[in-house]
Structure 1
Amino acid sequence: MAQSRDFARPAALMALGAAALGLTAVVVSARARQAERDNPPTGRIIDVDGLKVHYAEVGDGEPLVLLHGNGSMLQDFMSSGFVQAAAKRYRVIAFDRPGYGYTERPRSTIWTPSAQADLLRTALQQIGVSHSLVLGHSWGASVAIALALDHPDMVRGLILESGYYYGSVRADVVLMSGPALPLIGDILRYTVSPPVARLLWPSMIRKLFSPAPVAATFEGVPSEMAIRPSQLRASAAESALMIPDALAVQNRYAELSMPVAIVAGAGDKMVDLATQAVRLHRVLQNSSLHVVQDCGHMVHHTAPGEVMSAVETVAQAVEAAPRLKTDG
C-alpha cells in the first residue's frame, strides 16, 4: 500500500506539471495573437517564392535597404530618427527578415545569411529594385555582407552597423540558442521563454544602448511582438548560427569591392570594437570606419546623424567611382 502511494506522488506531480505547462502554452499563444492584433503590419506583404515577406518604405530617390538585427523587426529602423533623415534623399526600404515581424520563416530551410540574401534579392527585384545601398545592423550586417558577396550586382555600397564579423568564444550565444532546439525548444518557447524574456527585456535593452541611455525612439518597437514564440525561435536559431557563419565567411571579406562604411559604438557591450569593426576595416581597402563615442550597439537610435553621415560617405564614393575609372 505504501509502495503504491510512492508511485502515485510522482505521477500526480508530473500530471500537475504537464497541466501547468499546457495552461502556460495557452496563455502564451493568446498573448502572441493579441500582440499581432495590437500591432498589424505597417507596410506591405508580398509573396516571394511562396513566402510572405513584409516590408515598409518611405521617401524617394536611390534605394537604401535596411536589415535589422537579431530579435528585432523593421519597426526598429522605422521608429528611429535615422529613417526620417534618410527619407529626405533616399527611397528607404526596411524589411522584416525571415521569422521576424510578419515575414515567414519555414522550418524546412536553414536561414543562413546567404539563404536570407537570396530571398531578399528576389523580393527587391519584385518591387522594382535592381541595385541599392544596403545597411545592415548587428545580425543584419551579416545578411548585408552575404547579399554583397553572393549578388554583387544588387549592392552598390554597404553600411555595416554594430556587426559581428569574426568568430570568437561566446557563452551567451550558447545560452540563447535553446528555443531553436527540436522538441525541447518548442516546449521552451511556448512556456518558459516568453515570460523570462518579458522579465529580462528592460535590462537587455539597457545593455544594448549602454553607455548611452535608452532612446525615446525605441518605444516604437513592440516588445510583445518580439517575444512571440515564432520570433523567439528565429532569434535563437540566429544565435546558434552567429559564430559558425562568421567563421565560414570571414576569409571572403576581401572580395567586397564596393564602398563600405563600418559604424560602431565605442562602448558597445555586444560586440568588441577592436576585434570586430576595427579588424574588418583593416581588411577592406575601400572602407571607412565611423566610431561613435559614448554609444553602444544601437547607433541608429542614439546617434542617427552619425549613421546618416556613414551613408553619405558610401553614396559619395559610389558616385565618384566611375569618374575615378575614367580618370585612370
Structure 2
Amino acid sequence: MRFPTLGVKVYLFFGCFIAVIALTQWRANARETAAEAEYPAIGDIVMTDGVPVHVHVSGTGPDLVLIHGASGNLRDFTFGLTGHLTDHYRVITFDRPGMGWTGRLPGNAGAWNTVSETPQEQAAILQRAADQIGVKNPIVLGHSYGGAVALAWGLARPSDTAALVLVSAVSEPWPGSLGWAYAATSSALGGAVLVPLVTAYLPDRAVDASVSSIFAPQDPPKGYVDHVGSGLTLRRASTRANAQQVNGLLPYIIEMKKQYGTLTMPIEIVHGDADTIVPAAVHAEVLINDVPNGALTILPGLGHMPHHTNPETVVDAIGRAATRAGLR
C-alpha cells in the first residue's frame, strides 16, 4: 500500500512528536528519581489534613519557625542558619506546599492544573502541622516569598504569634510583571508541555547561573548548591507549584496590605539595599510605614540572601524580636 507524500510526512511528524514526548517524560522521571534519592527528607513527615508536611526540628528554647522562599526548600536554612540558632531556640523549618517533601493541597496537582496555594492557605496548613508538634507562640521568620506566608501567618493568628522577622521579604504590591517564564510555566499548556522540558533538559550550568543571580552581588557560599538540592525544585510538580504560587501572588499581597495595620506584634524587617530580586525600596521601605510595631534594618551593599552572606545580621534581628516579645 502506498501513502501519499503528504500523508507520510504527517505520519512521520506525529511519530517523532510522540517519541520526543515519551523521551522527555522518561528523562524527567529519571532526573526526579535521582534527585529524590540524593536529597531525601531530613526531618519528619507530619500528615496534615491528608497532606504530607515536611518539618525539621532542632535545638531548644522559644519556638522559632522558618519559612523558605520561592524555588527552595527547608535545606536553604539547614545549610548554615539553623546552626547559629539552635543553642537559643527550638528551630522549626518547613517545606512549603509543593516544595521539597511537602505535598500540594488537594485539587492543586496535575500537569494541566493552574490553581495555586495562596499565602493564607500555605500559612494555615503549616500552622496546623505546627500545632501537631506542639509549637506555641512562635517567632515566625519568612524569607523572600516566605515573607508573604509569614505575614499571612501573623494575620491569621495575631494572639499566638510572638513576633515576625521578615528577611528580603515580599510584602508590598510591585509594578510590572514577573516575566514570561513565570507566566508560561504557570499556565495549563506551559505546565503540561514546557515544565517537563525544563525538568528533563535544564543543564547544571543554568542552575548555577540562576543561583548566582539570586545571591548577587555576593557569591553563593561554597557547597550551597550541592546542599540545597535544586533537583527537588526542578521536579515537574514542584516547578509547576513554584511558578503558579509566584505568578499568582500579587492579588493576595494587595489584599493583605490592607490589614498590615492590625499586626501589633514586634516585626523586624531586614533587607539588603542591593537586592534586585525583591527591591527594598518597593517592599521593606514601604512596609515599615504600614505596620505599627516594626523596626527596619537596611543592609548596605547586600543582596537577596543575607541569611547566608551575613547571617549575623539575621541572628541579631531574631534576637531583637525575641527580646521585644518578652521571650528572653
Q: Distance in 1 between matches of 2:120 and 2:92?
A: 19
Distance 1:227 1:181, change over 3 A: same
Name the counterpart of 1:266.
273
Specify the SS of the correspondent of 2:46: strand
Task: Note the C-alpha offset of 1:170.
Answer: 3.5
Q: SS where residue 191 of structure 1 aligns?
A: helix
Structure 1 residue runs of 5 or longer lacking an equivalent are 322-328
Q: Take 1:89 and 1:215, find their aligned partners in 2: how far apart are those partners?
A: 24
In the other structure, the counterpart of 1:90 is: 89
Superposition deviation, residue 83 in structure 1: 1.3
Distance 2:322 2:93 in 1: 18
| Local SS of the residue matching 1:37 | helix
- For 1:1-328, list aligned pairs within 5 A: 4-80=4-80, 82-106=81-105, 108-109=107-108, 110-196=116-202, 198-216=204-222, 218-219=224-225, 220-319=227-326
Aligned to 1:116, what secondary structure does the other structure show?
A: helix
Aligned residues: 320
Contact 1:173/1:240 (8 A) holds in 2: no
User: What TM-score results when the alignment is normalised by the length of structure 2?
Assistant: 0.92
CA positional deviation for 1:198: 4.5
Identity of aligned residues (%): 30
Superposed CA offset, 1:73-98 (max 9, x none): 00001112x21111110000100111
CA contact (8 A) 1:266 1:296 kept: yes
Deviation at 1:255, TM superposition (A): 1.2
Single out whichever of 108-117 and 198-207 deviates more from structure 2. Answer: 198-207
Structure 2 CA distance, aligned partners of 1:94 and 1:196? Answer: 28
Q: Distance in 1 between matches of 2:232 and 2:217?
A: 26
Q: Which structure shows the bigger proportion of residues in helix conformation?
A: 1
Further displaced range: 308-317 or 238-247: 238-247
- 1:148-168, CA deviations, whole angstroms, 9 ceiling, x for partnerless residues? 001113311000011122222
> What stretches of structure 2 of length at least 5 have no aligned partner?
109-115
Q: Distance in 2 between matches of 1:4 and 1:263?
A: 68
Deviations 1:163-217 (A, max 9, x none): 1222223333452132332254122222245523745211211111111111225
Kept after mapping to 2: 8 A contact 1:77/1:83: yes
Give the secondary structure class of the aligned counterpart of 2:104: coil
What one-letter code is carried by the residue in structure 1 that aligns with 2:165? I
Which residue in 2 is equivalent to 1:324?
none
In structure 2, give the amino acid aligned to 1:302: T
8 Å CA contact retained: 2:25, 2:200: no
Note closer, same or farther for the CA distance 1:174–1:154 as it changes in structure 2 (3 Å cut): farther
Runs of 4 or more off by more than 3 Å in structure 1?
Answer: 196-199
Tell me the equivalent position of 2:111: none
